[in-house]
Structure 1
Amino acid sequence: MRIFLFSLLAVVCFSSCKSGQTAASQDSSPLDELVSIMQGHYSSEKQSVTDKDYFNISLRMTPIWKSKGHYLFVEQALFDKQDKPYRVRIYKVSQRGDSFVSEIYTLKDEKAWIGKWATPEVYDQLTEADIELKQGCEVVLKRVGKNRFEGATGDKTCPSELRGASWANSKVTVTENSILSWDQGFDKDGKQVWGATKGGYAFFKI
């Protein structure tokens, strides 16, 4: 009798747990999926070892402002100089129809927020007055498969003055464990003046 009751309870538990897991997976939206796989610490070390034209870059994406939506605090730096990132941004990720948009924000006092990823609650002190939207530089992504999103900025929509550029372009592929990012700057005549020339940087999660 005890064996029968134990077996019955086990079946009931297995069924309820399994149905609960299924419900949870069904509740996960493509937007949640994208934000979940974007966050983390990445490096391009593998690529830099096989191709000397690429540097070993550290890329950190830390979720912040969870009560306001989907925001990521982003730092990009040479791997051996992570205390001095050359790019500090905030990404706002949202869904528009069947597309996913990553809007890019700069910080007015970015040095004050560098390296706070270990205690992300500190970013709660940031306000919308401390950041500024980079108009036309948003990346529009499409979900092309489970845990895979691909997209780019608009054609000549993102202004840039870096190294004589007039506009910049970014192409991005996000997967569960990697991000392929190809950022390029072009002058008014369409000549590339900065960024990788052979292809994007391949970042893998650490």
Structure 2
Amino acid sequence: MNFKNILLAMLLGCVIQFFSCATGTAVHRKSDDLKKLVSWMTGSFSSQEQAQTDHDFLDIRLKMVKIWPNRQDGYWLYVEQALATKQERPYRQRVYHVTIQDNATFESAVYTLEDPLQYAGEWQKRKPLAALTPESLIIRKGCSIILKKEGDEAFAGSTQEKDCVSTLRGAEYATSEVRITPTELVSWDRGFDHNDIQVWGAETGGYIFKKIEDF
């Protein structure tokens, strides 16, 4: 091999190494962002402060806790939402599957449980939903929240178009808008009929859930 070929081979090796390191750094950074997002999502939240100043909003308690820690396909969270006065009987129970979608976005897929009330309070257990698997859940197709990072202090996103089907109170589809920071989670869920008229959900803005405890 002559000197020119040796030089070209060395140059090619440097280029490959550069792009390999750059790709590895980008993947590592996105993995760190996913961990940060999930850590901000998990915990105990309350809308009490908002309810005290705006009577259009109720005092709601929100719990999100990690489940199935040995799985390697992203993070799984169990979620309970209940009136502050009826926390033993949540009106919404979900499982979220939080993953990296691509270089710019994260996805929080939404699942429901069969006979959910039998799992009420499960977030307090050392191993919540340990008897269940993803295969035992019911996915809500079209209801995933697609999130993007906003600087270093927030993640924000929403459902897509009219993809999330809902029949609650005469609705045809539902939308969700979410913004997550280290100290609060803002969630605006609404249902719309076939004429795009809102039939349920807060009308002036989202619920502001202040984090009161980390899990």
Query: What TM-score bracket applies, with the shorter chain setting the length?
Result: 0.7 to 0.9
Alignment of 1:54 onto 2:60: no
Alignment of 1:94 onto 2:99: yes
**How many residues were matched structurally?**
182
Match of 2:148 among 136, 142, 153: 142
Alignment of 1:189 onto 2:195: yes
> How do 1:65-144 residues align onto structure 2 when only pairs under 5 Å count?
65-68=68-71, 69-97=74-102, 98-144=104-150
Check 1:26–1:153 CA distance in 2 against 1; reply closer, same or farther (3 A cut).
closer
TM-score by length of 1: 0.85
Check 1:26–1:170 CA distance in 2 against 1; reply closer, same or farther (3 A cut).
closer
The one-letter code matched in structure 1 to 2:66 is: P
Q: Distance in 2 between matches of 1:148 and 1:120?
A: 29
Q: Distance in 2 between matches of 1:150 and 1:107?
A: 26
The one-letter code matched in structure 1 to 2:141 is: Q
Match of 2:46 among 43, 46, 54: 43
3-state SS of 1:29 partner: helix
Residue in 1 aligned with 2:158?
Answer: 152
Residue in 1 aligned with 2:184?
Answer: 178
Alignment of 1:199 onto 2:205: yes
The one-letter code matched in structure 2 to 1:124 is: A
Residue in 2 aligned with 1:14?
Answer: none
Q: Distance in 2 between matches of 1:27 and 1:137?
A: 23
Q: Distance in 2 between matches of 1:105 and 1:112?
A: 16
> How do 1:15-26 residues align onto structure 2 when only pairs under 5 Å count?
none
Q: Distance in 1 between matches of 2:152 and 2:130?
A: 32
Say if 2:78 and 2:128, in contact at 8 Å, map to a contact too.
Answer: no
Say if 1:62 and 1:117, in contact at 8 Å, map to a contact too.
Answer: yes
Say if 2:45 and 2:211, in contact at 8 Å, map to a contact too.
Answer: yes
> Which 5+ residue runs of structure 2 have no aligned equivalent?
1-27
Please state how far the C-alpha of 1:147 moved relative to its aligned partner.
3.5
Q: Distance in 2 between matches of 1:204 and 1:37?
A: 11
- Write out per-residue CA displacement over residues 2-54 of structure 1, whole angstroms, 9 at most, x where no aligned residue: xxxxxxxxxxxxxxxxxxxxxxx979610000001100000000000000010
